[in-house]
Structure 1
Amino acid sequence: MSFNLKAIAERAGVSLSTVSNVVNGYRPVGEHTRQRVQRAIDELGYSPNLSARHLRRGRTGLIALAIPELNNPYFAELAEIAIREAAGLGYTLVMENTAADREAELLLLDGSQRRIIDGLIFSPVRIDRDDVLSRTADSPLVLIGEGVYDVPHDHIAIDNVAAGHAAIQHLVSIGRRRIAFIGAAPGADRQSAHLRMRGYTEALAAAGLPLRPQLVARTDEFSRLDGRRAMRDLLALAEPPDAVFGYNDLVAIGALRALTEAGRRVPQDVAVVGIDDIEEGRFSSPTLTTIAPDKAEIGRLAVRRLVARIEGREVDAPLTVQTPFRLIRRESTGSWQPPTQAGSTRPSRQ
């Protein structure tokens, strides 16, 4: 049974405008008053018509999350977080799969759905800074991931150089000296593969280890199959690696498979580290040591920043926010150890 706002105001003993402010979140209301209104809402079983509310404000109540791979567990886990956060704020989140295709990314960026969605959370792969700067759509945009920098939009990501450095530092700390990197890729120097590669090379230099080009494996994509193929090639070298850092967990899991097929022991013969902390890595055999981004913080913050801008509550300059990450040591680099914090949230004005 549905009751109107007047009935709620009478039950709570407050004005109709106070109820409206609580229900619509227009302005701050004292906590005690807010609780009284919420109790009345719960007792009367009131359910607001979110669609009508959004339409009255000239919005649809829909926001989009555009990702390059629906079948990548990292994005699936991130999407689940974002969907829950959006629902809690009264919005419906819809998914867009760009398949890492430049034309698909440009269509989304230019607002082909501007009449349908109120704002976009976007993890681009193929577009660059100039593409974003030439965007004509006026709906709010929040970027996640590492493909674009220095643009007038909120951008949320981990520090990929620091993440790569932390992975190599860990491998060095357990005595590894011939450390390979799987996932080098062509493209703009600000793509995450290049940033993680930079962390790899800087950590090797800091440890006094040479950069061996033969231990840097290029991949077309960042899948399990790519990791498996690259690991097989590395094992065929006259001096194969004693450790591997995978661009992501999927690449690292593919490398684990190749090592098992070749009869190599992990971590005794070859230690392996990935990035992403996907659930699959917690159940692989052996379990996978990983650099774990704070996916919950990335998803929540992206949705909150977008909704705040949609509703006109964010008037400050766009932020670049580096969210935390941590090293989680599992069986692929030795016995399990408690996770250690290795990154921090660092917002900065663009």
Structure 2
Amino acid sequence: MGVSLKDVAQRAGVSTKTVSNVVNNYPHISPAMRERVQRAIDELGYRPNLTARHLRKGRTGIITLAVPELGNPYFADLAGAIIDAAAQHDHTVLLDHTAGLRDKEILVSQGFRSHVIDGLILSPIQLENEDLLARSEGPPMVLLGEREYTAPYDQIAIDNVAAARTAVRHLLDLGRRRIAFLGARNESARLPAHLRLRGWREEIKVAGGTPQESLVVATEGYDRPDGAKAMAELLARGERPDAVFAYNDVVALGAMRVLTERGLRVPEDIAVVGFDDIEEGRYGAVSLSTVAPDKAAIARLAVECLIERIAKGDSGAAPVPRRILPGYTLMIRESSVGRTGSASPPPTGDPSGPDQPRTPH
């Protein structure tokens, strides 16, 4: 038999109600009483029955996180951060994989597991605004990712245009002028790829240049083979850039592999900047400069928003939806500045060595 609330109350010499108030962090408990009860809890090894607590409130204590690619290091990192954040609120996370397919995203968003979960955190790829507007039932939901929606749901997303501009500005500051963009897409203009491409164009124009559309390469997906294929295609066109800004880190890593195979040096011949700050990028033969979204903040804000909606009893759409923009940092490493940071030094006042953060937001 496990230790019960009554056992703790007897050890502390108080009522079970007092123990319950301490366990549930009720504010109007004196420090001496709280310490007394906590000592009894520690001595007996009492653990609250979270399942019973949630059921008393008509909840399950489970939230779903639905992402498009569990194999993508970014989503793996984000999932871990969300699991940690949810645990701080005594919630368990059920992972779901949509493969970025619209039908699966619609199914998840419509709450097909609503009888076993309290809420949903969804990172959509193909889901359209009308799909969300047509959502008639389901638990509270928070959206992740940079695709822009006007539907009434809280959304946590970094500013893709500003982040892309920061990356391109770094390359321009290094004296690079033929900056390629790998990872364009032909779908909806609300996709993150379009927003990052927009940032690429805007920053080049601000610097007084003209975006060279011949240096933009579309990809079918966002994995290493897509980056390799895009880089090979660009070189086959005879369009050799002096820098590459890739949609994400794995696309950048695929591109760097092709550059190595062709005898081109990174960054001496072609500088490379990615997006996402995955661990793999930090430990390659040439460490990858990248835009690092604040994943911990994204996870914390998503969970807090969802728990708030659950506590208020919000069902389905949010009464007053919010769009929250966590920060990001440009991590400057060897793929843009070289091993010593001397290949193409950053402007005065910027970090000069590899693996240095720049421009926090």
TM-score by length of 2: 0.89
User: Contact between 1:128 and 1:148, CA under 8 Å: does it hold in 2?
Assistant: no
Q: 1:106-144 CA deviation, whole Å, 9 max, x = no partner?
A: 000111111121110000001112211211224110111
For 2:15 and 2:52, locate their aligned partners in 1 and report how far apart those are by CA, in whole Å: 22
Structure 1 position 75 matched with structure 2 position 75: yes
Matched residue, 1:201? 201
Q: 1:257-295 CA deviation, whole Å, 9 max, x = no partner?
A: 010011100000000000000001001221100000001
Once the two structures are TM-superposed, the CA of residue 18 in structure 1 deviates from its matched residue by 3.7
Change (3 A) 1:291 1:23: same
Secondary structure of residue in 2 paired with 1:8:
helix
Once the two structures are TM-superposed, the CA of residue 148 in structure 1 deviates from its matched residue by 3.8
User: Pick from 321, 338, 344: which aligns with 2:356?
Assistant: 338
Matched residue, 2:261? 261
Once the two structures are TM-superposed, the CA of residue 188 in structure 1 deviates from its matched residue by 1.7
Change (3 A) 1:119 1:313: closer
Provide the alpha-carbon RMSD of the alignment.
Answer: 2.0
Report the count of equivalent residues. Answer: 342
Matched residue, 2:350? none
User: Contact between 1:128 and 1:147, CA under 8 Å: does it hold in 2?
Assistant: no
Q: 1:24-53 CA deviation, whole Å, 9 max, x = no partner?
A: 35x534583545433332222111121222
Change (3 A) 1:326 1:57: same
Q: Could you list the runs of 5+ residues in structure 2 that have no partner in the other structure?
A: 342-353
Counterpart of 2:360, as a letter, is A
Matched residue, 1:318? 321
Once the two structures are TM-superposed, the CA of residue 13 in structure 1 deviates from its matched residue by 5.8
Q: Percent identity?
A: 52
Secondary structure of residue in 2 paired with 1:332:
helix
For 1:116 and 1:28, locate their aligned partners in 2 and report how far apart those are by CA, in whole Å: 31
Structure 1 position 244 matched with structure 2 position 262: no
For 2:197 and 2:35, locate their aligned partners in 1 and report how far apart those are by CA, in whole Å: 51
For 1:135 and 1:295, locate their aligned partners in 2 and report how far apart those are by CA, in whole Å: 28
Change (3 A) 1:89 1:66: same
Matched residue, 1:348? none
Structure 1 position 212 matched with structure 2 position 212: yes
For 1:66 and 1:306, locate their aligned partners in 2 and report how far apart those are by CA, in whole Å: 14
User: Contact between 2:334 and 2:355, CA under 8 Å: does it hold in 1?
Assistant: no
Counterpart of 1:317, as a letter, is V
Secondary structure of residue in 2 paired with 1:136:
coil
Once the two structures are TM-superposed, the CA of residue 6 in structure 1 deviates from its matched residue by 3.5
Matched residue, 1:42? 42
For 2:301 and 2:202, locate their aligned partners in 1 and report how far apart those are by CA, in whole Å: 30
Secondary structure of residue in 2 paired with 1:121:
strand
Matched residue, 2:54? 54
Deviates more, 1:98-107 or 1:304-313: 304-313
